[in-house]
Amino acid sequence: MAWALQFDGVNDYCTTTGWTPTSNNWSFEIVFEILSIGGSNAIVISNGSHTNGIYINYSSTGASNIFCGGQNIGIGTLVTGVQYTAALVSTGGSVEYFINNVSAGTKTTTCAPLLGMNFGRRVQTASQYSEVLLETVTFTDNLTPSNSRLYDA
């Protein structure tokens, strides 16, 4: 497997440009691996904050959550050295949350990944970096496929 990006947790990250789906029918997927579980709230990927966009975090115990538009669902405990696939699927006014292709639940929200997304660093706190590997990041616009984006190795 080829990893597209590797972050060592020390002052490194990248940011994408904003993406606006043409409707509330979109999906987002990221394949990642955590290399080290450090301090609380190290971020795998974030967009704005937990109340504005997509935000996946894990704590020093590995307990993890996915936020979409401020709506939070716990996705269990993530461990180092394991590949994970996290996904969000928006249909109308609800978003279903997935971890490794298993539904973690559905929330009512119209969240969309409209802002630039940071990989490897928490947006609100410049000093919080993550030691993670990223393989692919996919934004799919289900109404207008030509508006979709794929970032991979």
Q: What's the Cα-to-Cα distance from 1 to each of 31, 37, 45, 77, 83, rounded to whole Å?
A: 11, 22, 20, 23, 11
Query: pTM for the whole thing?
Result: 0.86
**And the tokens for 105?**
């639940």
Which of 32-36, 56-60, 72-76, 79-83 is predicted least confidently? 56-60
**Above 80 in pLDDT, residue 106?**
yes
Render pLDDT for 76-87 as a digit per residue (tens, 0 to 9): 888 889 999 999
The 10 Å CB-count burial string (b at 16+, else e) for 12-36 is ebeebeebebeebebbbbbbbbbbe
**Would you give the end-to-end CA distance of the chain in angstroms?**
9
> Higher pLDDT residue, 122 or 72?
72
pLDDT value of position 124: 58
- What are the start-end ranges of the E strands in 92-130? 94-99, 102-108, 118-119
